[in-house]
Amino acid sequence: MDNSANRLLVVDDQPDILDFVGQVAESVGYSVRLANDARQFRDAVRAFQPTLMILDLQMPQTDGIELIRELGMLGTRATILISSGMDQRVLQSAEQLGLSHGLKMAGFLQKPIMLADLEAILGQHLCAPRVPTEEELRRAIDRAQLLVHYQPKCTLRDGRWAVAGVEGLIRWEHPELGLVYPDAFISLAEKTGLIAALTDFVLQEGIRQLGLWRAQGTNLDLSVNLSPHLVRELDFPDRLADLMRAHQLPNSRLMLEITETAALEDPARTRDILTRLRVKDFGLSLDDFGTGFSSLTQLYRMPFNELKVDKSLGMELHQSGEARTIVRSLIDLAHNLGLRVCTEGVETPGALAFLETAGSDYVQGYYLGRPMAATAIPPLVADPPALAATA
């Protein structure tokens, strides 16, 4: 992938417009990709991961509305500008559609495109790779700028994929930067010790939400990511059990996801805490398996009861025979060790069909549902997307 901070994808069926916008954008400081049909567009979204898109609403085979819907399904984080010569009402309803899919819609570029307008708008969206500071993160915790989104985790029930649980994923509603995703601040939180407060927030909020759903008749499991630094506090299992009790939830409803590297550090103390968590009936999942410093030994040294196959493998299943072989082997390995398997990064029906045959106990990915606000979960549980099993 291109590593520059400003990556622009321009989609238009007119080559002269593509050239014009592309040249101006490069002079302003963007790295640019041009697409003049839907296939090129899809390839570029995946491989180039643009930060900004300029999308023409009127295209011959696929229209811009269809592309907006697709971007919604893909969960793209790019900012989107609509370019068109159409009347304001059409543009506004296209923008509304994008917003309702959770996209970052940033307005319009009226055609014919004027050089000065284009330079101004591209300049506005040029992001200096500004990263949040420690002070801002501290304030975010105090001022309730953090929130939790929930991504469905599905399992096969009566021949259909049904939502069995959710993974709570933290987000930061930053006053200037907008919605900030965890990759941009988890390591800062870990370095500064703020990770403890942040994790407390996710646990408290997630468990409260689980209690609320249960009171409304929706019984779900919750998975929460646990930072390495917290697997050192000896009183953690007891604090967690108190929190579950306060919401009248059985401990077995909570799964803690820990990464391999976390499990590697300070093994004796880690094993003490993890074992006590398991004795109390909390679930333990080895997250992001298949990346970084994989150590198979963690699987039998530590009391995990779930293995989570990393999304980088899940995302390759539909196109890579090697990925399919690796995932199939990991599933068998985990099952032979008595662990359940959850495969992440399921983005296509092909990947889902493969995982069903390979025997993945749980699946998680954009194809089954993106991380979403708590209110969107019960409707999804009641009326799951039509994902009939294929086997």
Provide the token pair at 271: 């094993």
Site string for ligand C2E, 213-232 (x = CB under 6 A): ------------x-x-----
Q: Applying CB under 5 A, what is the total number of residues that bind Mg ion?
A: 4
Q: Quick one: CA torsion of 380, 381, 384, 388, rounded to 10 degrees?
A: 150
DSSP reduced 3-state for 125: coil
**Which residues between 245 and 284 bind ligand C2E (CB under 6 A)?**
257
Site string for ligand C2E, 301-340 (x = CB under 6 A): ----------x---x-------------------------
CB 189 within 8 A of CB 229: no
CB 332 within 8 A of CB 360: no
Minimum gap (Å) between residue 73 Cβ and Mg ion: 20
Minimum gap (Å) between residue 371 Cβ and ligand C2E: 5
**Which residues between 138 and 157 bind ligand C2E (CB under 6 A)?**
151
d(CA 184, CA 171): 10
Place of tokens 């050239």: 19
DSSP reduced 3-state for 23: helix
d(CA 348, CA 19): 33
Q: Does 290 bind ligand C2E (CB under 6 A)?
A: no
Judged by CB under 6 A, which of 287, 306, 316, 361 binds ligand C2E? 287
Q: Does 345 bind ligand C2E (CB under 6 A)?
A: yes
Q: Which of 151, 251 has the CB closer to ligand C2E?
A: 151
Q: Does 225 bind Mg ion (CB under 5 A)?
A: yes
340-343 and 306-309 as β-strands: parallel, antiparallel, unpaired? Answer: parallel
d(CA 383, CA 163): 10
Binding region for ligand C2E (CB under 6 A): 151, 169-170, 181-183, 186, 199, 202, 225, 227, 257, 287-288, 311, 315, 344-347, 364-366, 371
Binding region for Mg ion (CB under 5 A): 225, 257, 287-288
